[in-house]
Structure 1
Amino acid sequence: MITLALDTSTPYLTLALHWPGGELESAERIERAHAERLPSGVEALFQDAGLELRADRIVIGMGPGSYTGVRIGASYALALARVWSAELTGVSTLCALLSEQPGTQAPALDARKDNVYGALYRVEASGVAELQAPAKYAQADFVALAQQQGAELRQETTPSGLSLIRAAQTLGRAQPQLHLSYL
């Protein structure tokens, strides 16, 4: 099964491919040029992997993040899923900030005015479990929550499309609903 992951809700264009023979990812900070760069980025990723431009499964980062960015990624993913007859799965964009290291992690994205969008996850070899759903917090409150839970704070981290794919294995939603709290 070939899986494509994409997220356009942050200033990064986050892409990844996973297939039986390997995996490949890219995350490039492009600010607000997602609409212009997404199609060519996906094509380049498949070309670099030596694969035909077609996936069996698409994982989309559903936000929180840029309202326009989330819509761009969701529209593109929905179109590809229909054209390719691919399964579409959604996970929180916060999952793109998780590392592969086992343990409790607290990913957060800037929500402006000393606020963050954050959540708590437990990362294990068997998958990712959501301990606390994504929500908006005062920055200081989220840092305190992470410390209280013994969680590794994951802010200012480059997103990973492969992290989205790993999280989708246990947290994926077959009928993705976008988070409607955006920057």
Structure 2
Amino acid sequence: MPGAPPVTLALDTATPFLTLAVMWPGGERQFSEEVGRAHAERLADAVRAMFGEAGLPFRADRIVIGTGPGSYTGVRVGASYALGLGRAWGVPVLGVSTLEGLVRGPGGETPEGRVAVSQDARRGQVYGAMYGVRGGAVSDVIHPPAKRPLEEFEALAAGLPHHRDTPPDGLALLKAGLGHGRAEWSLAYL
């Protein structure tokens, strides 16, 4: 599609939520639904439906993937699908931590400044990070994603908004991918 405006697809399957977003010069659309472990069954149809609802042909110029942390199967479902589409469409697949999709917090409010985010990693542990947020997306990493005892992370995050175990926001993930997504990425598991 030479000369066509760029379209970006973002997807995340690392949590119990299927999280998607698409952005193009004329607008943006996102989708998030709790699917438990049914990512593989729901992902392809949900992506096609989102493109259809947006009135876009089923093709993007780049893809952003949430690389986890998450369940082994969930993370791999999204990564496999993104890599397959990337290869079929001949476009780059940029990876960012799923934790970057948590910065908007419950209810989708858009914070500005420093934000702590975490996911339950079981046995009193969390996978957490602290970010600087501008424009609803991560602008800089204050503390990179790491597995820590919950008490230790809460002490580190004292005084900051802390979004814990919230559904990822597709547009926050997409914007992070556009801002600093990496072509060379690896998956992270809880």
* TM-score (norm. length: structure 1): 0.94
2:179 aligned partner: 170
Describe the superposition over 1:51-99 as per-residue Cα deviations: whole angstroms up to 9, x where unpaired.
Answer: 0000001000001011111111110000000101111100000011012
User: Tell me, which stretches of 5 or more residues in structure 2 are unaligned?
Assistant: 1-5, 105-109
What's the Cα RMSD here? Answer: 1.3
Paired letter, 1:28: E
1: CA distance, partners of 2:138 / 2:39: 29
Paired letter, 2:17: Y
Structure 2 counterparts to residues 132-171 of structure 1, below 5 A: 132-147=143-158, 150-171=159-180
**Count of residue pairs brought into register by the alignment:** 179
Query: Does the alignment pair 1:79 with 2:84?
Result: yes
Paired letter, 2:90: S
Query: Does the alignment pair 1:97 with 2:102?
Result: yes
The percentage of counterpart residues that share the same residue type is 53
1:113 aligned partner: 123
1: CA distance, partners of 2:37 / 2:138: 32
SS at match of 1:176: coil
Query: Does the alignment pair 1:53 with 2:58?
Result: yes
SS at match of 2:187: coil
2:3 aligned partner: none
SS at match of 2:44: helix
Decide which of 30, 42, 49 is 2:35's aligned counterpart.
Answer: 30
Query: Is residue 65–residue 96 contact of structure 2 (8 Å, CA) maintained in 1?
Result: yes
User: Tell me, which stretches of 5 or more residues in structure 1 are unaligned?
Assistant: none
Q: Could you list the runs of 4 or more consecutive aligned residues of structure 1 that deviate by over 2 angstroms after TM superposition?
A: none
